[in-house]
Structure formats: structure tokens, C-alpha cells
A and B are shown apart, each in its own frame.
Chain A
Amino acid sequence: MNMTGTQDRISITVKSFATLREVMDSQITIDIVAGSTIRTLLVELSLRYNGLNDLLFSRPGVLKDLVNILKNGRNIQYLAGLDTPLDNGDLIALFPPAAGG
């Protein structure tokens, strides 16, 4: 909460790849409440994009095994997972299961 009684907002850029682009924009910038985490961001995105939730989660609150989410290039698995806090200007990359070689 700031001095005017409204909640501070932060700006996050989200990029999607591969099959996720079938249901959402390849890149968007969204404003969300300061103090948000990856989890709250994904809830926000799932409300905005029909079908995204099913591509990312195996059951409520549990990411599919091979889904990878990066915060500024670092997999959230090695940060705080879905509870990884977001900072203004963060770049979040969402990947569905994918591989090559």
C-alpha cells in the first residue's frame, strides 16, 4: 500500500514459447501488485488466457513435470519455485515440455 492508499504495482514482461503461443501472446507486459509471486502471476495469466492453466499445471498448484519457468534466465526451481517473488522489470519466460538436440 502506498501513501495514497492504492497498492503499488510492478511491471513484468512475460514471454511464452512453443505450444504456449497457441493460447497466449508471445510477449506481453503486465502490471501486477507489488509483492506478487510467480504463483500469483500465473493465476493472473490463466484468467486472461483460456487454456493456459491446463498447459502449465498437472493439478491445482502443481506445475507439470517438464514445464520450465525462468526468471531473468534462472529456472524458478532453484529460486523459490512458484513462491519466487517478482520484482519490477522482471522477465519471465514460460516453456511447455520441449526438447531437441
Chain B
Amino acid sequence: MDGYAGNMIYADLSTKNVTVMPTPAELKNKYIGGRGFGIRILTDTIDPGTEPMSEKNALVYATGPLTGTGIPLGNRYEISTIAPLTGAAASSNSGGTFGWKLKKAGFDAVVVTGKSEKPVYLLLDNGKAELRDASHLWGKTTSQTTDAIVEELNDKSVRVACIGPAGEKLVLYACVINEKTRAAGRGGAGAVMGYKKLKAIAVRGDLPIKPADEAALEAVKKRVRQKIEENGISKALHDYGTAVLVNIINENYVMPTRNFQSGHFANADKVSGETMAKTILKKPKGCYACIVQCGRVCEFEGESGEGPEYEPDWGFGPDCGIDDLKAVARANNLCNEYGLDAISTPATIACLMEMAERGYVSHPVRFGDVKGMLGLVEQIAKREGIGDELAEGSFRFATRYGHPEYSMSSKKQELPAYDPRGIQGYGLATATSVRGGDHVYGYMISPEILGAPEKLDPYATKGKPQWVKTFQDLTAAIDASGMCLFTSFALDAQDYADLISATTGMKIDTAELLRIGERIWNLQKLYNIKRGFGRADDTLPSRLLNEPLKEGAPAGLVWKRDEMLDEYYALRGWDKNGVPTAEKLRELDIAYVDVTRGTGAKTAVS
């Protein structure tokens, strides 16, 4: 055994053909799993000219070898697709217990292509697969869908990843929700499921997941458990959740406020993790094998749900000028129920708020308008009224009204909860992110604000390109492995290499781990170049490059793209246009890729 389930499943929704095949050795050896599997399969099988909303687009749900093996925080699965919001090959990551159960059902990955005429869901059950009618589920929210499938199968061990009404309505940033509250959020994989009429994937099983070297793995497990438990960050995450960041980011004056018009929100503490712990928090909750438990089970006024995490807390809070924690939690619950990305949704609403205040859009909503904000979430999910325009994301919305500069996005994907003007390396990471505006493809907040693994001056640009490259490559490998990214606050590359080696039997050292991550990054980059992305896309909104922050220590700063981008490209072995050189492709063993057309690869999946 090697930590893998051993098989992958291919479901063509057009023909209703469902095929089980062994997981190819090349995929395991060169791409590990998760994001690596997803990007390699997408780039092998989908012509770069493919529209996101088309039968030819694919959805790849992939676990990693460390998913479900009892390793602390080893619970992730990744959904990769051509994202409708950006048009880029992208992936999004989720926890909970779905990934573990997918492997227990016998599968490392699921590849879905085609388009069904009627709504269906895919049931994976102890090595078998079945497409089932989902007509009765269409229109239901994610919790209703989950409950209905569990009831239909009369088995509470079933886990469900599904879309809500937003995915059915093809909201470009509709997400996929597993277990009612865990989201593969970014880019719009939920809309691709909606287009394909795939309402859900349900998994159950009790097949074994065995590592290659149990004794070696137990020793590494013990070591990483101790490091995570002893790391001070773990306690804060358990006690206050990810929203512990609200005050940290705000006190650094890099809290995007009112659509990035300011870097400081006076009432931030009212929506902080500390306030949440004292008011609406019922208990912390963790994913499979989690010893941190950063999830929040919150209850208030007869309503219960999970979250808000830091990002939606910021989005519906400071970015919309709102300091009402219950309203923020309610908006977050709506996102979970409708299946909306809880970053792009509030960021798009904040864009409308600013444009309405400036008179560019005739709409009554203003910053701080709780009722208006909550109504807009509903309208977006249902594509009602102005919600139909907002469902296209802030960039298309702002462009429609002649002012794209008010979309705080990169590659048409809304930026997360940090102002790059006061965190230069983070700005480079999000501008060069191959999936568009992002914080978890290379979390530079960790060294630049939190001080892990070491403190870096957030205002400095010197040395940042190398840090960004290393973080991006390491994160790609972590996302491929099936580990939660939050382990990276406590663990280092050697820990991940040892975990993968003991689990899979492959002998991977830190250099090889980073090389695999770099391979994934470059393949995704190459493919997106073929989809039309270039140097001009590796940037941030003009506001962040030209309008200095006005308050606090970072006052006067803008994001300094020109001081970092060329060096970053050079360190990556890319030319001035950001195109990987032939030498770099040979080094990464992906020289088979024809930059001018198609990947030219022999498909790895057949």
C-alpha cells in the first residue's frame, strides 16, 4: 500500500459512461495528488481553447496520499477546473471529512466531463459508482441537498459535496460545499457543476487506506503532532478561529475597508474573533484528524451555522463598512446555503457600494447598510434584479458601468482580506497567483505580518520575489499532498517530505518536494498562457499601485510591482513576459508541453 486508494473514476455526464481505472504511477510520482492531479489532468485532457461553461470542461476532485491517513490535519481534497470567473485553470481546496470518505469509497480522484440533460448526482460507494437522478434536489440549498441524499441512502456515514441554487444559476463565483459548511470556494467550480447539471457527489465506504511504511509514518506523525501542538499559533486558532486575524490585520493598518478605500476599520473589534468567542460562538470544530479545530460553530437568534472565517468576516464586515457580527455571520450562512464564494460575494457587493456612492450606478445600497447587503446576497444567488449583474463578479460588473478600476480583483477574481500596499510580498504573491486574486497559493502574510517562519519587513521589496516563489512552490506541494495549509505555521518542508515518503514509499527529499510544487506551478502557468494570460495580467488594481494608503504606519505606501516582478520572473526561469523557458521546462520534466498549442501530452489518465 502507498497511501493511495488506488483507483480513479471518470464520469462522462453526456454519455453517462462511468469508468474506473487505476491511478497512474506517473501522476503519483510527479504530481503527488490534489492540485497536482487536477492541473495535470486538466492540461492533458482539455484543449486550451475550451470555454469554462462547456461540455468539454472537466471537474477534477482529487485527494492526496496524506488525506485520510490519520496524519494530523491530513484531510483535504481539491477541485480543479477551468474557472468561469477567471478563465484560468484553477483549483480550490476544502476540508471536513469528504476527502477522507472519498478515499474510503475507493477513489483518489473523480474526473467529470460532459453535460447531463437532467440533474444528476454521482454516488461513489465502496469501489462502485452510479449516476442517480437529482431532479428532486434541483433548487434545494446545500444543507437541504445534503440531508435529502443522506436520508435517501439511509446512511449517516454518507458525505456530500454539492452545489446550491447559486451554482444552478451559474453565478460565476458559485462554490462547492461539502458537509453543509466546508467550501471549495474560489473561481466558480460550483457554476461548472451547475452547467453540467451535476448537483452533488456523495461518498461512502470503508475500504482501507494503508501507508507504505506504518512504523516510519507513526514516528513522523508523532513528531508533527508535537510541533503543531507546541506551536503557539495553534492555540489562538483553536480559541478564536481564523477571525483572530481581524485585529491583527487592522492594527497593522492593512485591513481593506470600504472596497480598499482605507486600510483601517475603526470598529474592527466588533467583528473580531475575540468578540465572536464572547458572543455567538458555541464551540470550536475541526475537520478529519484535526488537532487545531479552527472551525466555528456559531448560534444566535435561532440561527446556527459554521463560521464566519476571517475572509467572509472581513468581506461582509469592514469591506462593506459593517460592524454587526450577527449580520456578518448571517451573510456567511447564506453563502453556505446558496453555495456562494464568501470572498467574491462580499467583495462584489463592496464594489457596488462604492460605485453607488460615487454615483456610477443608480442603487440605494451604501457602505454600512446591513439590510441592503443581506438582500444583495440573496439577489446574487438567485440572479434577481441587480444580482444578475453582480453574479458576473466585480470586474465584469464594474466594467459594464464603465469603471473597471473599482473592481478590487486580479485576473477578474476578487482580492482577499489584506491590503498589498502595506504587505509588498503578499502583493507579489497575489498578483502572480496563477488562479487569480488569492491568498492561499503562497501565504506571505505568514512571514510579513505574523512572523512565521521568520519576520520579514512587510514594507520592503528586497528579497521578496525569492520568498514568494518558495512559498508558492511549497504550497502547491502541500495542496497536492492532502495536508491542510495551516500545518505550515508549525511544519517545514522536511516534515512534509518525510510524511509523503513514509506514506507513499517514494523517497522524496525537500528539494524534490519543492521541484514537484514548482512543476505544478509551471504547468498551470503554461496552460493559462495558452488561454491568453500574460505579463499584463500579473498585476493588481490601479488603486493599489497609484493611491497611497492614508492612515497609520503604512501611510504613503503603494504596491511596488516594478521593484519585484522582473526579479520574480528571472528567479522562476521565465522570460520577461513571464513565459517559462525551454530550459526550465526540461528541468521540471515538462518539456513535452508545446507552448504554442495544446500540451501535446499523451494523456496521463487513459
A residues at B contact (CB < 8 Å):
15, 17-19, 21, 26, 64-66, 68, 70, 72-75, 77-78, 93, 95-101
Contacts and interface: CB of A to CB of B under 8 A. Distances in A.
B251 A73 contact: yes
Nearest to A72: B553
A2 B245 CA distance: 42
B242 A100 contact: yes
B439 interface: yes
Contacts of B485: 101
B242 to A, nearest CB: 3
B298 interface: no
Nearest to B263: A73
Nearest to B450: A99
A70 B310 CA distance: 21
Contacts of A64: 232
B310 A100 contact: yes
B241 A100 contact: yes
Contact of A18 (B242, B274, B486, B489): B274
Contact of A100 (B232, B237, B251, B451): B237
Nearest to B453: A65
A76 to B, nearest CB: 10
Contact of B237 (A75, A95, A99): A99
Contacts of B552: 72-73
A97 B231 contact: yes
B296 to A, nearest CB: 11
B233 A99 contact: yes
B116 interface: no
Given A21-B274, A66-B232, A100-B242, A93 B251 contact: yes
B553 A99 contact: no
Contacts of B253: 73
Given A68-B450, A100-B294, A19 B239 contact: yes
B457 interface: yes
Contacts of A72: 552-553
Nearest to B313: A100
Nearest to A71: B553
B235 interface: yes
Given A64-B232, A99-B233, A101-B310, A18 B451 contact: no
Given A68-B451, A99-B446, A73 B236 contact: no
B252 A98 contact: no
B451 A66 contact: yes
B232 A73 contact: no
B248 interface: yes
- Which 10 residue pairs are nearest across A and B when measured between Cβ atoms? A97-B232, A100-B242, A73-B553, A98-B236, A73-B552, A100-B245, A74-B553, A93-B251, A73-B253, A99-B233
Given A18-B247, A98-B232, 4 more contacts: A70-B252, A97-B236, A99-B236, A100-B248
B233 to A, nearest CB: 4
Nearest to A94: B251
A16 to B, nearest CB: 10
Which of B236, B273, B459, B486 has the most CB atoms of chain A within a 10 A radius of its CB? B236
Contact of A98 (B233, B455, B457): B233
A93 B236 CA distance: 16
Contacts of B446: 99
B193 to A, nearest CB: 25
Contacts of A100: 237, 241-245, 248, 273, 294, 309-310
20 contacts: A15-B251, A17-B247, A17-B251, A19-B236, A21-B274, A66-B450, A66-B452, A68-B449, A75-B252, A77-B455, A95-B251, A96-B236, A98-B240, A99-B237, A100-B242, A100-B248, A100-B273, A100-B309, A101-B245, A101-B311
B554 interface: yes
Nearest to B552: A73
